[in-house]
Each structure stands twice: as structure tokens, then as C-alpha cells.
């Protein structure tokens, strides 16, 4: 009994500082994610694994938290969605089956190869964005034609599969796909990404993955708070500073996500 009383304050302090650390990790990663259009999993997902969660539980917990990120970002940027309702429905209709498929087969996929592929794609996106100074700075909306739709809905289905199985970096892929296909500016593309991928894709993926294992509610509450506030503040900053800030952050986050995934992949292969 005496030993318990002696150690109780230490354990309580440790628990408190642990929760503060989790909140800060969630807040910072989701703030940058809200500006760039993705990449919250760069810090948040590995952090959950380091805190002792198995990969599938960490992925499910991360996805539930990023729903809060999507809500936080969408509240601030909701007005930017009104001109892209048709594209929004395409993302949901053709991407959601991919998310469900990816979440259902994640147990049978080799994580290291998925990390390798997504890491290389993210680095290529960073280089491409850096070499295209005018990319996504202005909106020149393409007229939607059947050929243009095919160029969009096929990739969006496969990105959905990656979202359901890997998570990290898929929002960045959707953002750049919207910019390249429909000539959107970064602010419009990020707003659309957070409403569709951040809320709906991640909610569906989280529900599918939650059947694999238990999601710890104590961590989840803190992550939701950090994700929501980070999402709102990141979206607010992107509105204040405009497309140049979003593009710069997008390029940096793409590079960091790519390097992180490559290191993770190579480390697991060795």
C-alpha cells in the first residue's frame, strides 16, 4: 500500500505528460496536414506505434482521429466546396470502394512494399511540385468531359485502396490529382480533399479496420482534440496566406512523407 502511494504521483505525472505529448504530436502534424492537403500520418501514425499499439490498431485509431481533422479543416473551408460538388461525388463514389477493399486486404499485403511504392511517389510529387513554380497557384477549371473523368476516377479508385491499407500520404495524392486533372488551385483542391478523404474515406476505413482490433478510447479523445484544432488552425492559416504557403508546405510534406516511408520500407526489408 505504501509503495503504491509513493509511486502514484509519479505515475500520474507520467500519464499527464504522456497525454500532453500525444496532443502536441497530433496538433502539429494535423496543422501541417491541413495546410498541405495530407501527410498527418507522417508523425501521428508512427507515434501511435511507438506508444505500443499494433499496426492495425494504430492505423484505425489514426483514421478516426483524422476524421476530426477533416471536420476541422472543412468547417473553415466549407465555402470553397460549392463549385466542385460534381467532383466531390466522383471522389466518394469511385474512391470509397477502393478504401473498403484496401482496409479488407491490409492484413494480406506486404507493408514494406506498399511503403516503398508510396514513398517513391511522394518524393516524385515533391520534386514535380518544386520544378513547377506555377502549379496550383491559380485556378483554371477544366470543362469536365468523359475522357477527363476516366483519367480521374481510375486513379482515385487505386488511391482509395492505398488509403484503406497504408493511409500516410494518400491525401497528398488526391490533392495533386485534383490540381492536375481539373486545373484547381491548391486551396480548392485541399478543401475538397479534406471533406472527402479526411471525413468520409477515413471514417469508412476506420470502421473497417476497427473490426480487426480494439481502438483505445483514452488515446482517441486526445487525438481527436489535437486533430480538430490542428485542422481548423491549419485551414485558417491556408486561407490567410493563400496558395503560395499551401504549395510550399505541400512540397515539404511530400518530401518528408516520402523519405519517412522509404526509411520505414528499407528498414523492414533489411
Number of structural domains, the chain?
Answer: 1
Q: Could you tell me the pLDDT band of residue 241, with boundaries at 50, 70 and 90?
A: confident
**17-26, 211-220, 260-269: lowest mean pLDDT where?**
211-220
| Interval 212-236 mean pLDDT | 83
Cell (9 digits) for 184? 484547381
Q: What is the mean pLDDT of the chain?
A: 79
Instruction: Give me the phi and psi of 183, to 5 degrees please.
Output: 60, 35
Separation of first and last alpha carbons in the chain: 47
| pLDDT of amino acid 37 | 73
Strand, coil or helix: 87: helix
Helix 186-193 and helix 85-105, axial crossing angle in degrees, nearest 10: 50
| pLDDT of amino acid 116 | 78
The answer, yes or no, to whether residue 263 has pLDDT greater than 80, is yes
Angstrom distance (rounded) from CA 228 to CA 33: 11
The answer, yes or no, to whether residue 160 has pLDDT greater than 80, is yes
Top-confidence residue, 152 or 150: 152
The answer, yes or no, to whether residue 237 has pLDDT greater than 80, is yes
The answer, yes or no, to whether residue 4 has pLDDT greater than 70, is no
Top-confidence residue, 168 or 51: 51
Angstrom distance (rounded) from CA 84 to CA 74: 14
| Interval 123-135 mean pLDDT | 82
Domain that holds residue 170: 2-269
The answer, yes or no, to whether residue 194 has pLDDT greater than 70, is yes
The answer, yes or no, to whether residue 168 has pLDDT greater than 80, is no
Top-confidence residue, 189 or 257: 189
- Using an 8 Å Cβ cutoff, are 28 and 249 in contact? no
Amino acid at each position: 500500500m505504501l509503495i503504491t502511494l509513493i509511486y502514484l504521483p509519479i505515475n500520474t505525472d507520467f500519464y499527464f505528460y504522456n497525454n500532453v505529448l500525444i496532443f502536441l504530436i497530433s496538433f502539429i502534424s494535423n496543422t501541417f496536414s491541413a495546410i498541405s492537403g495530407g501527410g498527418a500520418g507522417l508523425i501521428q501514425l508512427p507515434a501511435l506505434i511507438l506508444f505500443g499499439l499494433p499496426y492495425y490498431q494504430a492505423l484505425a485509431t489514426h483514421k478516426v482521429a483524422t476524421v476530426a481533422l477533416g471536420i476541422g479543416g472543412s468547417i473553415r473551408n466549407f465555402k470553397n466546396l460549392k463549385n466542385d460538388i460534381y467532383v466531390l461525388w466522383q471522389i466518394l463514389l469511385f474512391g470509397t470502394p477502393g478504401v473498403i477493399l484496401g482496409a479488407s486486404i491490409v492484413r494480406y499485403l506486404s507493408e514494406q512494399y506498399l511503403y516503398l511504392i508510396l514513398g517513391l511517389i511522394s518524393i516524385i510529387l515533391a520534386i514535380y511540385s518544386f520544378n513547377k513554380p506555377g502549379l496550383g497557384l491559380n485556378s483554371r477549371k477544366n470543362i469536365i468531359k468523359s475522357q477527363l473523368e476516366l483519367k480521374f476516377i481510375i486513379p482515385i479508385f487505386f488511391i482509395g485502396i492505398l488509403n484503406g491499407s497504408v493511409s500516410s500520404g494518400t491525401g497528398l495524392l488526391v490533392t495533386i490529382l485534383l490540381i492536375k486533372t481539373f486545373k484547381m488551385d491548391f486551396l480548392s483542391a485541399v478543401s475538397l480533399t479534406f471533406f472527402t478523404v479526411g471525413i468520409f474515406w477515413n471514417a469508412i476505413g476506420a470502421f473497417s479496420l476497427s473490426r480487426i482490433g480494439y481502438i483505445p478510447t483514452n488515446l482517441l479523445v486526445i487525438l481527436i482534440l489535437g486533430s480538430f484544432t490542428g485542422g481548423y488552425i491549419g485551414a485558417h492559416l491556408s486561407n490567410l496566406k493563400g496558395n503560395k504557403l499551401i504549395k510550399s508546405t505541400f512540397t515539404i510534406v511530400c518530401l518528408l512523407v516520402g523519405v519517412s516511408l522509404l526509411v520505414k520500407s528499407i528498414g523492414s526489408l533489411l
